[in-house]
Structure 1
Amino acid sequence: MSAHRITATYRIETAYPLMEAIETMAGEQSTGTFIRLPGETDAMRDAYGAHIERVTELEPVGTPSLPGAGVPRAGAAGGGDPLWRRAEVVLSWSLENCGPSLPNLLATVAGNLFELRPFSGLRILDITMPEAFAAAYPGPRFGIAGTRRLAGVEHGPLIGTIIKPSVGLGPQDTAEAARTLCAAGIDFIKDDELQADGPHCPFDERARAVMRVVNEQADRTGRKVMYAFNITGDLDQMRRRHDLVLSLGGTCVMASLNSVGLAGMIELGRFSQLPIHAHRNGWGYLSREPSLGWSYVAWQKIWRLAGADHMHVNGLRNKFCEPDDSVIASARSCLTPMFDSKPCTVMPVFSSGQSARQAPDTYAALGSADLIYAAGGGIMGHPDGPAAGVASLRESWDAALAGIPLAEHAKTRPALAKAIEAYA
């Protein structure tokens, strides 16, 4: 396959003859329509049409996964009840079709495919892009190394948390919560994605109040806690909020990917002088139905190249519906290089119901401590308070990295022992 081609891997389901359905996909997303057009030459189709690179047929099913799909008049097998065939399909496109443009890449690999009548299931599993995309986009400016440098954490995970309650705290209340967490020895704090710039907690006031606390703590200890301020908004708003955080000595900003959109994230990635903490809230509507939408492996590549430095991946035994193997696959994808010239690796963010109990299993499954481990209740809900909550997470990760059983490590560490009991 040419290094100058874009590829996408799909899992499909159809009652139509398999190659007929796949050719419909290829035509819809390149030169074709439902009929052959005047001027649509074989040379044009070869140069600019989507190529079918590989088809791997999977086990068929007797009922469609999604409603509304069409069925051939004579059934899929020439008569009788239809059979819904499944396959993994790789399509490729010439870079000449759209150039190294992420918005147009998105239209190419995920345009009108999902609603095509022949399909009762269609999901994007992976994407690969030519090196031209690496030259066209900044990718993560800070990534793992830059995040560690700014947070002052050379080894092990960044222990983090989220300001709670999500909304309701004013600027000074938020700053006091940050003060408590800084005193507890936290590495990373973030705004909740629901807290942006409401009248009850204006962004400018919150940023100034929080950074006074963070800077005071840094003056005392020599290490500045990384606080991710939620700057999600219109482009002008994000730029102004970013500039304020930068001027106050802040070291991180946060944006909700599905809210700001791809073009918004690209622009933020181009002007940001701070690490971008990318929140994936809304991810479920793109992924929860297994026969439709996106795999995280494919989806996260677009945002990494656009400029994300941290990407949320959920967490083990989380409060959502995602299984543990999917969480680990997502985290591994964030740590997997994208290009020879620009690895674009980013820090996966584990969150959602995390506590000291999941750390050993997280490390054993991932095999890396290049991550942010964010616990809300796992810190703030510790029976002995936030400082003990932070200590319990560090002690749990110390045990994981050293290969010591958690219960053994907890025998001489009261904070860890109480966490194990409290979060059972």
Structure 2
Amino acid sequence: MSGAERIEADYLIETAFDPGHAAAAMAGEQSSGTFVPVPGETPELKARAAARVERLDVLETVGSPSLPGAGTPRGASPPVIRRAAVTLSWPVDNLGPSLPNLVATVAGNLFELRQFSGLRLLDLRLPASFAAANPGVRFGIPGTRRLAGVEGRPLIGTIVKPSVGFDAGQTAALVATLCEAGIDFIKDDELQADGPACPFEARARAVMRVVNDHAERTGKKVMFAFNLTGEVDEMRRRHDLVRELGGTCVMASLNSVGVSGFLALSRHAALPVHAHRNGWGALSRHPLLGWSYVAWQKIWRLAGADHMHVNGLRNKFSEDDDSVIASARACLTPMSDAAPNVVMPVFSSGQSVRQAGDTYAALGSADLIYAAGGGIMGHPGGPAEGVAALRAAWDAAMAGIPAAEHAKTHPALARALEGAS
């Protein structure tokens, strides 16, 4: 690893202080400095280890602070509150290619500095040493397509609903119905892990009996993402059980297990890891606080995620469509020529036949998992027609045919369009 290699991070800041001084406080707090000079922080040490402000562009002034608790300069009445784009850099030698310590460096105490009434991490640029030292995406799009037996179109998927309340046998019965319907992908809800009412082992055995039986009869093995979120040893044991039973995917909740937990799982895994982002809103919902998805997803791609949730168009949450598409494009954008680490985006949250055309037009790619709950289970003709309708909607989207026109020769799609909101 070259001592000249540096990490870069882009931020949006809001401050009542001089933006240059505020950016310097960020750099000091997140490297060699503290709030007062200390004897050991020599010029030589600063040259070797200090963060640098590489760029500062003042953008605009605003009338009031976005977040509470920020300080104001003495004598500034009223204070002038400015927003600015800032790029900081750090020598890789401060931390090595460590993802947990990268997070502490680029997204640590700086969010709490009193100089700021807004601070958001927008993007990261990492040297090749990070990709080389971390698991990275191992299955991604080609591996997922191979295991699911789906090429040239999105994987049509769904989520076990109700989210919790079914026992292992009831879950398996639903999976049998979905397999017969022609589904490509099914996932546990993130709330269903290993509770006494539906223990992980019992659920895995019951579901895989159904999946394996269907595969023997039809030649198609449905991909089921088992939620094995838990402590590290639990996740490893659950992964190994799924693999022994012939399963082809496992799932973990990123914000629950953390970077170190996810790294431990992905280094152990011999199956694709479906990465769920539940809790993401706490990191992102305020536009002047937290992370952009563009920066956040890079951490998990290097940690070994193969699929990442990006929400969906006209979703049930607060995220707008432009943000959803930007997130999906980020997942499909190579991180470098040497280590592309392209991950498969997962569209979910209130998806139906009505969003398929707009999703394809905006994204320009069919490399995705399209997961619909009510869009399949709520079809008036049942789950089989729900799956058929979604496939027809995507066939139309990829062919540039309006869904309503395609529906004239595809009854399942016509009935879905009649009932879809």
Task: Return the TM-score normalized by structure 1.
Answer: 0.98
Q: Distance in 1 between matches of 2:285 and 2:95?
A: 29
Structure 1 residues 253 and 400, CA gap change in structure 2 (3 angstroms): same
Greater alpha carbon shift after TM alignment, 317-326 vs 43-52: 43-52
Q: Distance in 1 between matches of 2:395 and 2:337?
A: 33
What's the secondary structure of 2:241's corresponding residue? helix
Q: Distance in 1 between matches of 2:278 and 2:418?
A: 30
Partner of 1:45: 46
Partner of 1:69: 70
Q: Distance in 1 between matches of 2:124 and 2:403?
A: 39
Q: Distance in 2 between matches of 1:343 and 1:169?
A: 40
Give percent identity, aligned residues only.
Answer: 72
1:59 aligns with 2:50: no
Q: Deviations over 1:170-195 (max 9, x none)?
A: 10100000000000000000000111
Q: Distance in 2 between matches of 1:245 and 1:3?
A: 44
CA apart distance, 1:340: 2.5
Aligned 8 A contact 1:64 1:84 in 2: yes
Amino acid across the alignment from 1:220? R
CA apart distance, 1:155: 1.2
Counterpart among 208, 211, 228 of residue 208 in structure 2: 211
Q: Distance in 2 between matches of 1:72 and 1:90?
A: 23
Partner of 2:173: 176
Counterpart among 149, 153, 177 of residue 150 in structure 2: 153
Q: Distance in 1 between matches of 2:90 and 2:100?
A: 15
Q: Distance in 1 between matches of 2:392 and 2:306?
A: 26
Q: Distance in 1 between matches of 2:278 and 2:301?
A: 16
Q: Cα RMSD over matched residues?
A: 0.9
Partner of 1:93: 90
Partner of 1:314: 311
Partner of 2:16: 15
Counterpart among 206, 211, 222 of residue 225 in structure 1: 222
Aligned 8 A contact 1:100 1:133 in 2: yes
Aligned 8 A contact 1:3 1:130 in 2: no
Greater alpha carbon shift after TM alignment, 374-383 vs 44-53: 44-53
Q: Distance in 2 between matches of 1:222 and 1:48?
A: 58
Q: Distance in 2 between matches of 1:362 and 1:43?
A: 53
Q: Distance in 2 between matches of 1:141 and 1:221?
A: 28
Amino acid across the alignment from 2:289? L
Q: Distance in 2 between matches of 1:173 and 1:39?
A: 64
Aligned 8 A contact 2:277 2:308 in 1: yes
Counterpart among 128, 148, 162 of residue 159 in structure 2: 162
Partner of 2:283: 286
Partner of 2:247: 250
CA apart distance, 1:395: 0.2
Aligned 8 A contact 1:7 1:129 in 2: yes
Partner of 1:111: 108
Aligned 8 A contact 2:4 2:91 in 1: no
Structure 1 runs, 4 residues or longer, greater than 3 Å off: none
Unaligned runs of 5+ in 2: none
Partner of 1:335: 332
Q: Distance in 2 between matches of 1:218 and 1:117?
A: 59
Partner of 1:129: 126
Amino acid across the alignment from 1:266? L
Amino acid across the alignment from 2:38? L
What number of residue pairs does the alignment pair up?
Answer: 419
CA apart distance, 1:246: 0.2
Partner of 2:135: 138
Amino acid across the alignment from 2:265? L
Task: Return the TM-score normalized by structure 2.
Answer: 0.98
What's the secondary structure of 1:313's corresponding residue? strand
Q: Deviations over 1:196-253 (max 9, x none)?
A: 1111111111100000000011011111000000000001110110000000000000
Counterpart among 289, 296, 305 of residue 293 in structure 2: 296
What's the secondary structure of 1:387's corresponding residue? helix
Unaligned runs of 5+ in 1: none
Amino acid across the alignment from 1:404? I
CA apart distance, 1:3: 7.2
Counterpart among 346, 355, 363 of residue 352 in structure 2: 355
Aligned 8 A contact 1:134 1:339 in 2: no
What's the secondary structure of 2:192's corresponding residue? coil
